[in-house]
A = this chain, B = another copy of it.
Amino acid sequence: MKRSLLLTTGLAIALGAGTALAQVKPEIMVKQRQAAMTLQAKYLGGMVPMAQGKVPFRADVVAYNASLLDALSRMPWDGFAESTKDAKSAALPAIWNEPAKFKQAQDNFHNAVDALVRASKGGDEAAMKSAIGGVGKACGGCHENFRQKQ
């Protein structure tokens, strides 16, 4: 609940974030949102092999990466402005045609990151591993419907 409020506030702020969005070129907005996705992949990617038992589990790395994912999870969404509809990217039209569904997919991701942040503070290795998987699933759930197949 607190998180939802925070997100809503964050969104409202992001939407008015200093420079009027209309002034930012669509290709810059695409570059910025792709940058956020690249970094989400970096910090999730650093944890997945731990969740899979392929590398030694390190709770400190999970806590660190989760805190950075928490910030990154706020960054991509204002980049999907209507003005970017025709810019070159892997974004599917469903983003703008089904905004409620797209918002739901974002919320699922936020909730999964939130669960990981909480788990990373709890010290339970199994819970952290499960929460890492949850974030990966939420990424995939959004890509499934809103990104061109890679």
Specify which of B10, B19, B45 is in contact with A46 (CB 8 Å cutoff).
B19
Q: Which A residues between 35 and 79 are near B, CB-CB below 8 angstroms?
A: 35-36, 38-39, 42-43, 45-50, 55, 58, 60-61, 64-65, 67-68, 70-72, 74-75
A17 within 8 A of B: yes
In the complex, are the beta carbons of A38 and B46 less than 8 A apart?
Answer: no
- Among B13, B31, B38, B74, the residue within 8 A (CB) of A32 is B38
Check: A140 CB closer than 8 A to any chain B CB: no
Report the interface size for chain A: residues with CB under 8 A from the other chain. 37
Give A149 to B45 CA distance when docked, in angstroms. Answer: 32
Contact B42 A39 (CB under 8 A): no
Cβ 8 A contact of A45, one of B14, B19, B61: B19
**A55 and B18 form a contact (CB under 8 A):** yes
Most buried by B among A35, A43, A49, A72: A35
Which listed residue (B16, B58, B74) contacts A61, Cβ 8 A?
B16
Starting from the known contacts A18-B49, A71-B71, 12 additional A-B residue pairs (CB-CB under 8 Å) come to A13-B60, A13-B61, A17-B61, A17-B65, A18-B45, A18-B46, A19-B46, A32-B38, A35-B38, A39-B39, A67-B71, A68-B75
